[in-house]
């Protein structure tokens, strides 16, 4: 299946360079008016939180023009594809959790990318050695691109639950793309984190780099007329312009026959997508997951997302402890161990349920959780711990001795949007193109990056022939960690939270719920608190502020927990595995939208009518 790339070097590359602005002229152009970036907003009429002010403002504009939370979420997501193209846009996919106030229902939309029909279980192994490819190497390849599912998700959500049209909801993004926005320091960091991949494609260089191939400087007015035009075409012709039309053909061409920069050493494995893969794509409505926790009803995303089942299982394990009454180090020890065990089960059992049998009711069963809780004593378990047996009758305290299914490596980014409207509808929407910058490839002429989501599959089972629910196959969706939560008390929504950060999405959501519900922190404080993530790995990944804390020391000395400090080549970006957004329903038509105060330069929370 895999073949070495037939590189079609762009002969007109010099012309592309001439068309670009020189670095000396970057400051020219009118700065668009942008509200100040505030991480918390309280008010009425509706609210939105996202990573970026321009994107949140697009959602607020949709609300002000008669749209509901679904319209606002699509407006925000499509605008984020303009202002932070490294984490969003038409080239990716995601999961939407929706509360419909009128019918008092929670529904979800599975808008996850699919693997092209030609995918096979060995597509990410080296045919010469039979060994799995390097994760970063494979993730840089067009082969890692799945069928872009974002536009289908937007269209499905709007047609079923929105008040406006796709055309109306794309309008704010079209305006932002046309008039441009100022590059800031966060944008530069994100560019740096994907620089070699962006440099490998003339179309990405032309859009996102200087003629010299460097990140655009702070203050540069970045317009994206190609993406504005793409959104106009989608507005005019609908999603079929992508799934059965010229845009789809351009995506397939870009994926299978990438045009690369002369001298490129990054790109070697072209994609295997066909236009039939695109026309077969369907975003699907499906039932949410549900667990009870401290009197709350917690709803999230079912497989192929692993968020609902893993957050749910960990909360079920934690239900057996009175965390609020425990010393904080003990409570955090219980959190880390609950995550460790829930992750073992996630890795062993969760995959695309259309391809593998996922024991979802077992994973979400309090009785099953009890069989995992009783493994926790007073010392950290040694990872990898074996999975449990999530099938009734649930029998206590036994680990399976079968080999541990391999957990796929996961990168650390994406984005979460929350939106609420004056009718009380809520949308929590985690979406992504996977890595910062996705595959790095911009679809020539269309102004957006393609995802590299297929490396969320496991590349090989843990041992030859071992069962693995997350191996690639034609049409299959890779397991995801994305899946925001909406929480209810006595049938009334009280808060929502979602996060970025690959496999740490699940632990970030868990930690925020625990901070808020058990430790009594306000949601802004719960988001801001230093994070630590245990994913059935030898050490827990800790943000620097946690790593250097007295609590971390106590967890090590008293409970034998081990930590690795989150860091990387692009700082402070790599100190933060992921950022989060949240929403508090305050009652009487009042909302509090919450974004990150610091991580990734902070996010943006806005309300329609700010409280005086």
**Catalytic residue list:** 414
For ligand DON, which residue of 171, 316, 414, 439 counts as binding (CB under 6 A)?
A: 414
Q: Does 303 bind ligand DON (CB under 6 A)?
A: no
Closest CA to 400 of 381, 379, 372, 377: 372
Stretch that binds ligand DON, among 98-106, 124-132, 277-285, 408-416 (CB under 6 A): 408-416
Q: Does 347 bind ligand DON (CB under 6 A)?
A: no
Under 8 Å between Cβ of 97 and 83? no
Cis peptide before 393 (omega within 30 of 0): yes
Report CA dihedral (512, 573, 434, 214) to the nearest 10 degrees: 160
Region of 281 on the Ramachandran plot (φ > 0 left; ψ -120 to 50 alpha; else beta):
beta
Closest CA to 428 of 59, 83, 70, 169: 70
CB of 502 to ligand DON, least distance (A): 4
Euclidean distance between CA atoms 307 and 262, whole angstroms: 41
CB of 480 to ligand DON, least distance (A): 3
Q: Does 480 bind ligand DON (CB under 6 A)?
A: yes
The number of residues that bind ligand DON (CB under 6 A) is: 16
Q: Does 300 bind ligand DON (CB under 6 A)?
A: no
CB of 92 to ligand DON, least distance (A): 9
Euclidean distance between CA atoms 488 and 104, whole angstroms: 11
For ligand DON, which residue of 199, 408, 432, 470 counts as binding (CB under 6 A)?
A: 432
Q: Does 412 bind ligand DON (CB under 6 A)?
A: yes
Q: Does 481 bind ligand DON (CB under 6 A)?
A: yes
CA distances from 98 to 425, 485, 487 (A): 7, 10, 11
Q: Does 92 bind ligand DON (CB under 6 A)?
A: no
Smaller CB separation from ligand DON, 414 or 425: 414
Q: Does 148 bind ligand DON (CB under 6 A)?
A: no
Q: Does 435 bind ligand DON (CB under 6 A)?
A: yes
CB of 449 to ligand DON, least distance (A): 13
Report CA dihedral (536, 537, 541, 547) to the nearest 10 degrees: 100
CB of 112 to ligand DON, least distance (A): 7
Q: Does 415 bind ligand DON (CB under 6 A)?
A: no
**DSSP structure class, residue 222:** E
Euclidean distance between CA atoms 74 and 174, whole angstroms: 13
582 bridge partner residues: 497, 594
Q: Does 410 bind ligand DON (CB under 6 A)?
A: yes
- Find tokens 């950290």 and name the residue: 380
| Alpha-carbon Rg for the chain in angstroms | 23
CB of 373 to ligand DON, least distance (A): 26
CA distances from 9 to 18, 202, 449 (A): 17, 9, 19
Smaller CB separation from ligand DON, 483 or 601: 483
Window 482 to 521, contacts with ligand DON (CB under 6 A):
482, 500-502
CB of 435 to ligand DON, least distance (A): 4
Q: Does 533 bind ligand DON (CB under 6 A)?
A: no
CB of 135 to ligand DON, least distance (A): 11
Closest CA to 457 of 474, 445, 444, 442: 474
Q: Does 434 bind ligand DON (CB under 6 A)?
A: yes
Smaller CB separation from ligand DON, 78 or 508: 508
Q: Does 85 bind ligand DON (CB under 6 A)?
A: no
CB of 477 to ligand DON, least distance (A): 10
Q: Phi and psi for 429 in degrees, rounded to 5?
A: -135, 110
Q: Per-residue x/- marks for ligand DON, 436-475, CB under 6 A?
A: -----------------x--x-------------------
Q: Does 413 bind ligand DON (CB under 6 A)?
A: yes
Under 8 Å between Cβ of 303 and 352? yes
Stretch that binds ligand DON, among 356-364, 373-381, 410-418, 461-469 (CB under 6 A): 410-418
Window 153 to 212, contacts with ligand DON (CB under 6 A):
none
CA atoms within 13 A on the CB side of 328: 10
Tokens coding 406 = 């391999």
Q: Phi and psi for 584 in degrees, rounded to 5?
A: -115, 130
Q: How many CB atoms lie within 10 A of CB 127?
A: 10
Euclidean distance between CA atoms 10 and 116, whole angstroms: 26
Which residue, judged by CB position, is nearest to ligand DON in the bound state? 411
Smaller CB separation from ligand DON, 119 or 332: 119
Smaller CB separation from ligand DON, 313 or 456: 456
The footprint of ligand DON (CB under 6 A) covers: 410-414, 432, 434-435, 453, 456, 480-482, 500-502
């Amino acid at each position: 299946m895999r073949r070495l790339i037939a590189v079609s070097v762009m002969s007109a590359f010099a012309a592309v360079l001439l068309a670009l602005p020189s670095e000396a002229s970057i400051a020219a152009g009118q700065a668009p008016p942008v509200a100040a970036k505030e991480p918390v907003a309280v008010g009425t009429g509706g609210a939105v939180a996202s990573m970026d002010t321009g994107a949140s403002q697009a959602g607020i504009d949709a609300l002000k023009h008669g749209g509901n939370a679904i319209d606002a979420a699509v407006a925000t997501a499509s605008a984020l594809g303009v202002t932070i193209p490294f984490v969003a846009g038409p080239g990716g996919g995601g999961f939407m959790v929706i509360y419909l106030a009128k019918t008092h229902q929670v529904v979800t939309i599975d808008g996850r990318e699919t693997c092209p029909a030609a995918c096979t279980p060995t597509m990410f192994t080296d045919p010469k050695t039979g060994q799995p490819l390097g994760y970063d190497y494979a993730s840089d390849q067009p082969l890692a691109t799945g069928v872009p599912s974002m536009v289908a998700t937007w269209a499905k959500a709007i047609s079923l639950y929105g008040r406006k049209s796709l055309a109306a909801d794309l309008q704010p993004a079209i305006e932002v793309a046309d008039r441009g926005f100022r590059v800031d320091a966060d944008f530069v960091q994100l560019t740096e984190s994907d620089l070699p991949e962006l440099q490998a494609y003339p179309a990405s260089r032309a859009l996102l780099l200087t003629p010299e191939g460097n990140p655009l400087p702070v203050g540069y007015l970045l317009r994206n007329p190609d993406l504005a035009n793409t959104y106009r075409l989608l507005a005019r012709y609908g999603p079929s312009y992508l799934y059965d039309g010229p845009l789809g053909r351009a995506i397939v061409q870009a994926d299978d026959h990438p045009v690369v920069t002369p001298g490129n050493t990054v790109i070697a494995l072209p994609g295997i997508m066909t236009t039939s893969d695109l026309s077969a794509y369907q975003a699907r409505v499906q039932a949410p997951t549900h667990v009870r926790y401290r009197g709350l009803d917690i709803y999230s995303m079912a497989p192929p997302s692993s968020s609902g089942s893993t957050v749910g299982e960990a909360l079920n394990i934690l239900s057996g402890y009175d965390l609020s009454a425990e010393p904080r180090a003990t409570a955090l020890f219980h959190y880390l161990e609950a995550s460790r065990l829930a992750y073992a089960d996630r890795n062993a059992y969760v995959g695309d349920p259309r391809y593998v049998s996922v024991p979802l009711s077992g994973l979400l069963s309090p009785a099953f959780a009890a069989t995992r809780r009783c493994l926790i004593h007073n010392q950290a378990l040694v990872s990898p711990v074996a999975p449990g047996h999530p099938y009734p009758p649930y029998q206590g305290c036994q680990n399976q001795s079968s080999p541990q299914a391999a957990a796929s490596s996961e990168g650390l980014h994406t984005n979460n949007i929350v939106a609420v409207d004056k009718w009380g509808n809520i949308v929590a929407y985690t979406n992504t193109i996977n890595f910062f910058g996705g595959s790095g490839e911009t679809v020539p002429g269309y102004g957006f990056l393609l995802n590299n989501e297929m490396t969320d599959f496991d590349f090989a089972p843990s041992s030859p022939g071992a069962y693995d629910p997350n191996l690639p196959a034609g049409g299959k969706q890779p397991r995801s960690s994305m899946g925001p939560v909406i929480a209810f008390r006595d049938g009334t929504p009280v808060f929502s939270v979602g996060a970025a950060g690959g496999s740490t999405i699940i632990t970030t959501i868990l930690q925020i719920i625990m901070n808020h519900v058990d430790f009594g922190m306000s949601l802004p404080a719960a988001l801001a608190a230093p994070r630590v993530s245990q994913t059935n790995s030898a050490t827990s990944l800790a943000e620097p502020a946690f790593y250097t804390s007295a609590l971390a020391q106590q967890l090590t000395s008293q409970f034998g927990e081990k930590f690795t400090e989150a860091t990387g080549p692009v700082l402070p970006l790599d100190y933060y595995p992921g950022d989060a957004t949240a929403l508090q329903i305050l009652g009487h038509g009042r909302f509090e939208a919450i974004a990150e105060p610091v991580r990734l330069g902070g996010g943006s929370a806005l309300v329609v009518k700010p409280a005086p």
